[in-house]
Structure 1
Amino acid sequence: MWFLRNLPSAGPTGGPGYPSPVISSAGIRFAFGTLTVLPVRVKRWDRDAARAGMLCAPLAGLVVGLFAAGIGGVLTLLGSGPLLAAVATVAVPAALTRGLHLDGLADTADGLGSAKPAEDALRIMKQSDIGPFGVITLLFVLLAQVAAVAGLYAEGWAYGAVGAAVSAVTARLALTLASRAGIPAARPEGLGAAVAESVPVRTGLAVAALATAGCAAAGTLLGGYGGALHQSLAVLAGLGAAQLLLRHCVRRFGGVTGDVFGALAETAATAALIALALG
């Protein structure tokens, strides 16, 4: 993956010399340096940094979501119409990750669609080309995202902007939960191996509760208690869809990979947007 080539060589893997706070500057650097293309350099590549980084993943999602909301909101206020604003909103997260998550979604779809044993499926996922399953999955996921966001902008620019932010947070929160203890890596190298089982279950659930509460708070700006409930349910829908995919991938591949993480992020974001649009 593009960011792995730019990382420094692995350092110590924790220990007395490396404190292990839940949130740290190393964790923030890890989250933004691996999950976005923002100019943040990852200085540590050890388990403590990986754990803190995945706990900070929703924060990276919030920043990405705010960029997307800003672009879409401005276009809407300038009279672009809901559809064009939706296209721009969906394009921003793809641009801020260089398509990393979409690429992971396509590769995971090809691996799952191959119906081959785990070793062969993982080999297919590592190939640089995209197969028919990947192309079809990308097409429908992007169409669903654009349609859902366009529906939100049709209700008002604030609905689309909040939806963009909430879906981006949900997407990265799914990665936090996928890094919890008990979910092994499918390969001994790559992002999956670096972060797999790095997040304690209770800590991951606490971060999930905090992120969901933040999304609910944003929902109150749109409709009081009903808005808060709507946003909360959208987050839960996104996380639920991602967990179903995660369970299937673990059964098929034996664990998680960087591609699986990308697929989980896109699945969570899409499900959250659909839930918001249906509301």
Structure 2
Amino acid sequence: MTDSFDGPPLTPPPERASFPDGLRFAFGTLTVLPARITRWDRPAARTGMACAPLAGLVVGVLAAVPGVLLLVLGGGPLLAAAVTVAVPAALTRGLHLDGLADTADGLGSAKPADEALRIMKQSDIGPFGVVALVIVMLVQVAALSEAYADSWIRGGLAAVVAAVTARVAMTLACREGVPGARPGGLGAAVAEVVPRPVAAVVAALAVAAAGAAALPLGLPAAARYAAAVLLALLAAQLLLRRCVRRFDGVTGDVFGALAEVAATTALIVLALG
């Protein structure tokens, strides 16, 4: 999710957006899956970003399936992990990774906010962005490989939890009180659209759902999966705080960076088990 998305200008919003409109908004902006956006306004963005974890759930399942199949067919955990990490990148056109790289370049530039935002908007990737991409991709593959080495169930579940957590981090970043850094782009379109109580409920449900999903693996595993989501969201919030202070708000690039940092943190915590 980056500012390179060229959506139509926001239209004068009706009072509410339906759940299907919100789902189309979430899938249409956060994935390449076929979902024609029927409304592009603040109410649709509010519902859509509250539903963002559902898009993450679908992406996570689609990422886990080929990894699990490779493992079942005799492939090694490293191969399964590499394919699993590649699928979300493909399903998002690499926009979240691009956002991570641009945000790293902006934060590393030590320039004033306006100049840092200009650097982030450029099409090329600087040294900070390259290093961030390499580290994040390597860590994600290594962590997932550890999970797959234990069992295909643990590896597949880790992939799904990481993908959902990444989108919950986006929902939290869309909450009221977190301004957009500039008037244009997708970041501004979704900034401050999610009420704080809704964002808190979405986060709490994600933590509880991760723990419940891991219950068949035992109570310690359930606690670890819930903790992974919680710690990942905390890491994303620390990055969000830094970006808001540095750029005077959020951009689409920042949303992408938050998603990748949250997913990576969750996978690291799960690998420790």
When normalised by structure 2's length, the TM-score is 0.97
CA contact (8 A) 1:3 1:33 kept: no
State the match for 1:276 in structure 2. Answer: 270
CA distance in 2, matches of 1:92, 1:2: 22
Q: Any residues of structure 2 matched to 1:127-138 within 5 Å, and which?
A: 127-138=122-133
Question: For residue 230 of structure 1, what is the amino acid of its counterpart?
Answer: R
Q: Post-superposition shift, 1:10? A: 3.4
Match of 1:248 among 237, 242, 250: 242
Is the counterpart of residue 234 in structure 1 residue 190 in structure 2? no
Q: Post-superposition shift, 1:119? A: 0.3
CA distance in 1, matches of 2:120, 2:3: 15
State the match for 1:264 in structure 2. Answer: 258
What percent of counterpart residues are identical? 65
Question: For residue 236 of structure 2, what is the amino acid of its counterpart?
Answer: A
CA distance in 2, matches of 1:4, 1:87: 27
State the match for 1:13 in structure 2. Answer: 13
Q: Any residues of structure 2 matched to 1:102-181 within 5 Å, and which?
A: 102-181=97-176
CA distance in 2, matches of 1:192, 1:14: 21
Cα displacement string for residues 121-143 of structure 1 (whole angstroms, at most 9, x for unaligned residues): 00000000000000001000000
Is the counterpart of residue 197 in structure 1 residue 192 in structure 2? yes
CA distance in 2, matches of 1:26, 1:9: 17
State the match for 2:50 in structure 1. Answer: 55
Match of 2:81 among 82, 86, 95: 86
Is the counterpart of residue 32 in structure 1 residue 27 in structure 2? yes
CA distance in 2, matches of 1:50, 1:159: 33
Question: For residue 202 of structure 2, what is the amino acid of its counterpart?
Answer: V
SS in 2 for 1:241: helix
CA distance in 2, matches of 1:117, 1:271: 29
SS in 2 for 1:4: coil
CA distance in 2, matches of 1:4, 1:270: 24
Cα displacement string for residues 15-46 of structure 1 (whole angstroms, at most 9, x for unaligned residues): 3xxx256xx11110010000000011111111
Which has the higher mean CA deviation after the structures are superposed, 207-216 or 152-161? Answer: 207-216
CA contact (8 A) 1:8 1:42 kept: no
CA distance in 2, matches of 1:159, 1:184: 38
CA distance in 2, matches of 1:266, 1:61: 12
CA distance in 2, matches of 1:275, 1:42: 35
Question: For residue 124 of structure 2, what is the amino acid of its counterpart?
Answer: D
Number of matched pairs:
272
Question: For residue 55 of structure 1, what is the amino acid of its counterpart?
Answer: A
CA distance in 2, matches of 1:212, 1:237: 10
CA contact (8 A) 1:181 1:199 kept: yes
Q: Post-superposition shift, 1:170? A: 0.3
CA contact (8 A) 1:8 1:43 kept: no
Match of 1:67 among 44, 53, 62: 62
Structure 1 runs not aligned, ≥5 long: none
CA distance in 2, matches of 1:118, 1:11: 28
Cα displacement string for residues 107-158 of structure 1 (whole angstroms, at most 9, x for unaligned residues): 0000000000000000000000000000001000000000000000000111
Cα displacement string for residues 84-112 of structure 1 (whole angstroms, at most 9, x for unaligned residues): 00000000000000101000000000000
When normalised by structure 1's length, the TM-score is 0.95
RMSD, aligned CA: 1.3
The structure with higher relative contact order (CA 8 Å, sep 6+) is 2
Cα displacement string for residues 160-179 of structure 1 (whole angstroms, at most 9, x for unaligned residues): 00000000000000000000
CA distance in 1, matches of 2:272, 2:180: 35
CA distance in 2, matches of 1:184, 1:87: 36
CA contact (8 A) 2:63 2:85 kept: yes
